[in-house]
């Protein structure tokens, strides 16, 4: 049977890949869909990109725009220009974008200007903090998307407040959790703890890469000081995002404080194994807040706000900002077993990609 729905989806940066993986798999199993992945090249290091494609069995990108690292304006503009040229040559019926990175807004904009319907997966999330580049990307992408797939109820409320027609909004669940649930057995079999010589529950896991935490030397020094004090109670593992590694190097802080172990960026399975076996997660990532919830590992988010409030509502995540006393006291509370267990958010059940696929077929063709 020949396909009746032609979809181009966009993968640009590390947090996109685990969202594209389950969609690519469901699309591949659906004969009515022809699916092609375009990689923008926003992330390009093997450890930030290729390793995810192989571990998550994501098909080779059909094209790679090879954009690389640039300032926000230049990066967004380059992706916009190159993706637009690609659409001119190879139009598709739907362009699907995920998440909130620069690749997301740039490709959504190129498609919308060409009159190609845009589907945004992980729509509606709002931190209400316009100093975050991702918040601007989220607001703009949603404003020009034709169909908005939402991972948690706050997304529907936010979109309704912004006047988006509810007929275009679908509470589909969380595609990143589809990947987590599918990959957990492989992560458990990866031998990560043995390789890192770690005991289950015997360490905390840290990730920090937001400009608001790592770009200001005083803030970064302060956070390292907090980690050093916490590490007297619990050894900490800290895989470094390239941005964070570069900042630490430039400040002469490339050697980890006592009790803290710096690691290279981890692959998907290793990182999942490290999360699942940790006693506590300290992070400024968006996705890790959600993953910690499902794994029932207490998460402290070193930000003033979160665009993923469900993680706090279900008791899996706590916002501790950048207040050293609060970060420490919250961490101690977790270690002393006073943090309540989390509930799993609705529709984070491993079937979000299937719901999205079924909805796309209904809206954009592919009659059975």
Give the footprint of ligand UD1 on this chain (CB under 6 A).
Answer: 13-15, 42-45, 48, 69, 100-102, 133-134, 209, 241-243, 246
Q: Quote the CA–CA distance of 318 and 316 in Å, as a whole number.
A: 7
CB 94 within 8 A of CB 6: yes
Catalytic residue among 209, 241, 258, 269: 209
Q: Is 95 left (phi over 0), alpha (psi -120 to 50) or beta?
A: beta
Q: How far is the CB of 47 from ligand UD1 (least distance, A)?
A: 8
209 is an active site residue? yes
Q: Quote the CA–CA distance of 185 and 92 in Å, as a whole number.
A: 36
Looking at the Cβ atoms of 42 and 317, the one nearer to ligand UD1 is 42
CB 41 within 8 A of CB 10: no
Q: How far is the CB of 192 from ligand UD1 (least distance, A)?
A: 20
- Residue 71 DSSP class: -
Looking at the Cβ atoms of 76 and 154, the one nearer to ligand UD1 is 76
Torsion angle of the four alpha carbons 143, 146, 147, 150, in this order, in degrees rounded to the nearest 10: -10
C-alpha distances in angstroms, 132 versus 248, 277, 336, 364? Answer: 21, 30, 33, 33
Q: How far is the CB of 103 from ligand UD1 (least distance, A)?
A: 7
CB 252 within 8 A of CB 301: no
Looking at the Cβ atoms of 98 and 360, the one nearer to ligand UD1 is 98
Looking at the Cβ atoms of 30 and 284, the one nearer to ligand UD1 is 284
Q: How far is the CB of 115 from ligand UD1 (least distance, A)?
A: 25
Active site residues: 209
């Amino acid at each position: 049977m020949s396909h009746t729905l032609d979809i181009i989806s966009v993968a640009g940066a590390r947090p996109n890949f685990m969202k594209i993986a389950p969609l690519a798999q469901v699309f591949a199993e659906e004969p009515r869909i022809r699916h092609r992945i375009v990689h923008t090249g926003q992330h390009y290091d093997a450890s930030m990109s290729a390793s995810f494609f192989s571990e998550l069995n994501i098909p080779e990108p059909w094209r790679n725009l090879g954009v690389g690292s640039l300032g926000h304006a230049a990066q967004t503009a380059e992706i916009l220009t190159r993706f637009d040229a690609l659409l001119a040559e190879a139009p598709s019926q739907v362009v699907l974008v995920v998440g909130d990175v620069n690749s997301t807004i740039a490709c959504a904009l190129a498609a919308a200007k060409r009159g190609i319907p845009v589907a945004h997966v992980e729509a509606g999330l709002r931190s209400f903090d316009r100093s975050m580049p991702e918040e601007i990307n989220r607001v703009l992408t949603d404003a020009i998307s034709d169909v908005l797939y939402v991972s948690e109820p706050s997304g529907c409320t936010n979109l309704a407040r912004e006047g988006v027609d509810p007929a275009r909004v679908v509470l589909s669940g969380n595609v990143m959790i589809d990947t987590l649930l599918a990959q957990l057995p492989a992560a458990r079999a990866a031998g990560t703890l043995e390789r890192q010589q770690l005991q289950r529950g015997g360490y905390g896991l840290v990730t920090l890469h937001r400009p608001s935490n790592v770009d200001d030397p005083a803030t970064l020094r302060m956070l390292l000081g907090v980690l050093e004090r916490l590490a007297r109670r619990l050894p900490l593992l800290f895989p470094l995002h390239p941005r964070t590694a570069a900042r630490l190097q430039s400040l002469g802080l490339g050697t980890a404080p006592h009790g803290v172990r710096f690691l290279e960026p981890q692959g998907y399975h290793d990182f999942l194994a490290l999360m699942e076996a940790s006693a506590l997660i300290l992070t400024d990532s968006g996705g890790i807040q959600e993953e910690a919830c499902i794994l029932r590992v207490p998460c402290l988010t070193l930000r003033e706000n979160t665009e993923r409030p469900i993680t706090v509502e279900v008791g899996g995540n706590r916002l501790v900002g950048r207040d050293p006393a609060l970060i420490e006291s919250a961490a101690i509370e977790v270690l002393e077993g006073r943090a309540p267990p989390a509930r799993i958010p609705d529709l984070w059940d491993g079937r979000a990609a299937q719901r999205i696929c079924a909805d796309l077929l209904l809206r954009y063709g592919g009659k059975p």
